[in-house]
């Protein structure tokens, strides 16, 4: 089974090297000037944050990642809009758009996906997530009870898949109802977006076993990930469906371990994330406020490569990676880490065969 590496696109701002604070890079603002008084920026206001995201996407493609993950951030630009913009800016990357099932009609979402598949050559994928904070869900206009969120996701996926692949499709559930649905003409017969779900409890695992293609776990120590993968495969086997496993993990890799730790401590100090300063390779909470990742893998290029390969060895096949700053670190990881990881994984596969 092949390993896929995604790079997270920051939809609500990006940092700079040696500066952990979020900025809407590429977009000039009088309230947050980049330069000291008296310095003129010749770019003026001709560019905005989407131009910066275009640069990140091109960096990801040049660094030979397999795809982009467009984060669903309540304070960021709309992930589907960013995904469409970046789909046309790249040639081969899978574009994994994260969104909430509260966005509306499953049929309308499926129609959007069909159009994405048509103009991107079938490169669109879905990561359906749920806002954990109830107050934020209310601010988004979502008043579905917490205990019903997984049921809504399940119905959303079922309806979307069937209207893409069938005609005269009927469905009646708690949240969605369709009568004689399905697309015809050029909208019919399109590729169903692969579905990525997430969550770290038994209900989330069971939901993925029923309807997901990939279940994405939060970054945790290797032994914990191994146990969770075993449980996911056990549940999927009971349903008779294949299920692959991914991990959401930030990375901070440098020439030496000492340099990596120095930069991690500097980031923690600048961002006020002192809780992220911890021993070992996995630093918890270091970039969570910026990227949403629960932990960062910190070390030399060799150490980070071996750490990622170790996750692959226990059954992780989809890596959603990220870092601050996103643009510069995409190049760094693509040049210095991914080739080593792929070589280590290939070596392991050959020995297993």
pLDDT at position 272: 79
Q: How many angstroms separate the CA atoms of 247 and 264, rounded?
A: 21
pLDDT at position 174: 95
Could you list the pLDDT tens digit for every one of the 353 residues in the chain? 689 999 999 999 998 887 788 888 887 665 555 566 666 666 666 788 999 999 999 999 999 999 999 999 988 999 999 999 999 999 999 999 999 988 889 999 999 999 999 999 999 999 999 887 888 888 888 888 889 899 999 999 999 999 999 999 999 999 999 999 999 988 888 999 999 999 999 999 999 999 999 999 999 999 999 999 999 999 999 999 999 999 999 999 999 999 999 999 999 988 876 655 565 799 999 999 999 999 999 999 999 999 999 999 999 999 999 999 999 999 999 999 999 999 999 987 655 54
Helix residue ranges, H only, 201-300: 202-211, 222-239, 257-271, 288-291
Angle at 264 between CA 335 and CA 20, to 5 degrees: 90
pLDDT at position 351: 56
Which domains are delineated in the chain?
4-92+194-253+296-352 (3.20.20.30)
Q: Exposure string (b/e) for 219-233, b if CB count within 10 Å is 16 or more?
A: bbeeeebbebbeebb
pLDDT at position 36: 65
Per the rule left: phi > 0, alpha: psi between -120 and 50, beta: everything else, 64 is left
DSSP conformation class of 189? T
pLDDT at position 144: 85
The closest alpha carbon to 313, from 340, 341, 337, belongs to 341
Pairing mode, if any, of strands 67-70 and 94-100?
Answer: parallel
Q: How many angstroms separate the CA atoms of 115 and 68, rounded?
A: 18
Q: How many angstroms separate the CA atoms of 259 and 299, rounded?
A: 8
pLDDT at position 134: 82
Q: How many angstroms separate the CA atoms of 165 and 181, rounded?
A: 10
pLDDT at position 353: 45
């Amino acid at each position: 089974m092949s390993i896929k590496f995604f790079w997270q696109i920051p939809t609500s701002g990006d940092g700079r090297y040696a500066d952990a604070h979020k900025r809407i890079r590429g977009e000039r603002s009088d309230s947050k000037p980049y330069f000291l008084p008296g310095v003129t920026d010749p770019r003026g206001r001709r560019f905005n944050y989407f131009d910066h995201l275009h640069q990140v996407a091109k960096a990801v493609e040049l660094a030979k990642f397999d795809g982009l993950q467009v984060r669903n951030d309540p304070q960021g630009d709309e992930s589907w809009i960013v995904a469409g913009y970046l789909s046309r800016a790249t040639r081969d990357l899978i574009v994994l758009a994260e969104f909430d099932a509260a966005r509306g009609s499953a049929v309308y979402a499926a129609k959007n996906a069909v159009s994405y598949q048509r103009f991107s050559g079938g490169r669109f994928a879905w990561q359906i997530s749920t806002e954990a904070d109830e107050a934020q869900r209310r601010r988004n206009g979502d008043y579905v009870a917490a205990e019903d969120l997984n049921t809504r996701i399940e119905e959303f996926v079922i309806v979307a898949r069937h209207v893409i692949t069938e005609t005269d499709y009927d469905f009646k559930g708690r949240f969605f109802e369709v009568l004689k649905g399905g697309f015809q003409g050029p909208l019919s017969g399109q590729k169903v977006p692969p579905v990525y779900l997430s969550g770290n409890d038994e209900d989330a695992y069971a939901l993925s076993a029923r309807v997901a293609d990939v279940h994405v776990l939060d970054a945790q120590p290797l032994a914990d990930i191994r146990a969770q993968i075993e449980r996911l495969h056990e549940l999927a086997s009971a349903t008779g469906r294949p299920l692959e496993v991914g991990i959401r993990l930030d990375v901070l890799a440098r020439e030496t371990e000492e340099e990596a730790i120095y930069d991690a401590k500097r980031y923690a100090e600048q961002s006020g994330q002192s809780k992220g300063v911890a021993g070992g390779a996995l630093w918890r909470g270091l970039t969570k406020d910026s990227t949403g990742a629960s932990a960062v893998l910190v070390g030399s290029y060799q150490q980070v490569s071996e750490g990622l390969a170790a996750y692959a060895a226990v059954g992780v096949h989809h890596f959603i990676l990220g870092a601050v700053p996103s643009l510069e670190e995409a190049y760094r990881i693509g040049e210095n880490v991914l080739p080593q990881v792929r070589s280590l994984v290939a070596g392991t596969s050959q020995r297993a065969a």
